[in-house]
Amino acid sequence: MAKKTNTSKKTAKKTKKKSSTRKKTARRSAVSKDRDTNTLNNIGSMATGVVKDSLAQTDPSVSIPLRTVTNMQFNKRRRILEMGDAAQQRALFNTGQARKFMQTILLAKGCKDLIEAEKTLSLRGMYYMSLHTIEGSKEKTFDDQSESDGILEDLEVSLNGLREELHVFAKKRGTMIGNITIIDNGDEIDCRRMGTGGYAIPSICEPDIIEFSKCEADFVLHVEKDTVWSRFNEDRFWEKHNCILTEGSGQPPRGVRRLLHRLNHELGLPIYCLLDCDPWGHYIYSVIKQGSINLAFESKRMAVPEAKFMGIRAIDFQRYDLSDDVKIALNDRDITRAKQIANYPWFEDRKDWQKEIKQMLKNNFKMEVESLITKDISYVSEVYVPERLKKKDFLD
């Protein structure tokens, strides 16, 4: 153990030295450095464990918490998904695991290099960084990117750090606009002046990168996709209702979720979600609210248990007297998925939700947010949403 701390200290010193000489890091907060040191320590201790094991002639292995449904619990009190304690030992001397073991160590080394260089890479960049032919064979370290992506996720969990903390980011997805000013990596960004495109939410939304400087908004409206978001933006909805408008291009990526979490927790803004009336939309809501199975270990930093579901509701078809043309028939997969969702523990005790899903199944069709366009082009931003807000008619 003494050795372990030694090495980590060393690396920590290294980082500090390097960072002091860099100009760019001046912009960064002290949090970032601490965080990096912490991540490096974690990587170091993992590798030290392997080295120690091999020198002691015991099977080297790394422990990787299981990211499966079975190893996941719903915390009823906090109303978020949490990961259990079950972990899988990835051993070198196991024919089935040897390759993955090698890849894990290889990517850990890659992350360490990345952190020390104080740079970030995309998932694909990470794949290329660690890609080479193994000496003395024709085998490549990775067959394709999906292989390295999976290992990176394993690494996140086992190092107990976000992908972002490993300096790896995903493709940008999601946009934001509204009454808020943020500081992104030292640049002040006024989200009120983002034109038609909006501010692209980065993959990494940690406090040391994005700071909230001035916020006047009362709430956040999160819509499912880009097209609806554009409608609201064009109608200057955020201006009229003094809110922040976000969009997650379907299933929101981590950046968007982290941002929503921070807006809710740090600024105390309520989050309202406008999603399709189908199992997919319901699940998006579930992920925003409780966290996802795959990233259950990060739920506490991403889930927004207070998020509310605004619509589209199953009763909206009658309520707004929509035409039959907007009906999209449920297929078998939708039906099974809906039943599955109804059985999730976080929906199970919600009578409203049970009713809602039952109603959708009874309707035997689904509806998209765009279906309101049949009434009027701006019906959704001028009638539907304001009405919901006024009536405080949300599903929780």
Partner 1 sequence: MTTLTRPPKSSKSMAKRAPASNKKKETSSRATAESMAKQQREISVSEFFAKNRHLLGFDNPRKALLTTIKEAVDNALDACEEAGILPDLFVQILQVNESRFKVTVRDNGPGIIRTQIDNVFGKLLYGSKFHRMKMSRGQQGIGISAAGMYGLMTTGKPVTIISKTSKRKPAHEVLLKIDTSKNRPEIVSDTEHPEDDHLFNDGHGTQVVIELDGKYQKGKQSVDAYLEQTAIANPHANITYVSPTNETFEFPRAVKELPPEPKEIKPHPKGIELGTLIQMLERTKTTQLGAFLQKDFCRVGPGKAKELCSKAGITNRTWIKQVGHEQAESLYKAIQETKITSPPVDCLVPIGSRALLAGLLKEVKAEFFAAATRPPSVYRGNPFQIEVAMAYGGALPTEETARVLRFANRVPLLYQQASCCSFKAAIETGWRNYGMSQSKNSLPSGPIVLLIHMASVWVPFTSESKEAIADYDDIRKEMRLAIQECGRKLGTYMRRRKRMQHQAERRGIFARYIGEISKSCESITGTPAKKIYDALKKMADQKTAEADYQLDEEGNFVADDGLANDDNVVVLDPDQQVTPDQIETDLFGEPVGGKSKRGKKTRKKTRKKVTKKAGKKTLKKKTRKSTRSDGQPTLLGQENRKKKKKRIVKKKKVRRSRRA
Q: Burial of 99 by CB count in 10 Å (0-12 exposed, 13-18 middle, 19+ buried)?
A: middle
CB of 95 to partner 1, least distance (A): 5
Q: Smallest gap, in angstroms, from Cβ of residue 137 to partner 1?
A: 5
Contact 129, 108 (CB under 8 A): no
Of 55 and 69, the one with the shorter C-beta distance to partner 1 is: 55
Within 10 Å of residue 299's Cβ, how many Cβ atoms?
25
Q: Looking at this protein, which amino acid is placed at residue 1?
A: M
Q: Which is nearer to partner 1, 8 or 292 (CB)?
A: 8
- Please report how close the Cβ of residue 113 comes to partner 1 at its closest, in angstroms: 7
Q: How far is the CB of 60 from partner 1 (least distance, A)?
A: 7
Q: Which residues contact 338 (CB under 8 A, 6 or more apart)?
A: 279, 282, 330, 357, 360, 361
Q: Which CB, 155 or 295, lies closer to partner 1? A: 155
As measured in angstroms, the least distance from the Cβ of 100 to partner 1 is: 10
Burial status of residue 314 (CB atoms within 10 A of its CB: 0-12, 13-18, 19 or more): buried
The conformational region for residue 268 under phi > 0 = left, psi -120 to 50 = alpha, else beta, is left
User: Which residues would be at the binding site for partner 1 (CB under 8 A)?
Assistant: 7, 10, 43-44, 47-48, 50-51, 54-55, 57, 59-60, 92-93, 95, 98-99, 101-102, 105-106, 108-109, 112-113, 134-137, 139, 141
Closest approach of partner 1 to the CB of residue 101, in Å: 7
Conformation bin of residue 72: beta by default, left when phi > 0, alpha when psi is -120 to 50: beta
| Six-digit token string for 237 | 């909805």
Amino acid symbol at 146: S
**8 A C-beta contact, residue 277 and residue 263:** no
CB contact at 8 A, 326 and 314: no
148 vs 371 by CB, closer to partner 1: 148
Q: How many CA atoms lie within 13 A of 148 on its CB side?
A: 24
Catalytic site residue from 128, 199, 320, 384 = 128
The distance of closest approach from Cβ of residue 45 to partner 1 in the complex, given in angstroms and rounded to an integer, is: 9
In sequence order, what are the residues at sequence separation of 6 or more whose Cβ sits closer than 8 angstroms to the Cβ of residue 136?
Answer: none
- If the CB atoms of residues 108 and 284 are measured against partner 1, the closer one turns out to be 108
User: How far is Cα 301 from Cα 327, in angstroms, rounded to an integer?
Assistant: 37
Q: Write down the least CB distance from residue 314 to partner 1, Å.
A: 53
Of the two residues 48 and 359, which places its CB atom closer to partner 1 in the complex?
Answer: 48
Residue 320 designated active-site: no
Residues designated catalytic: 128
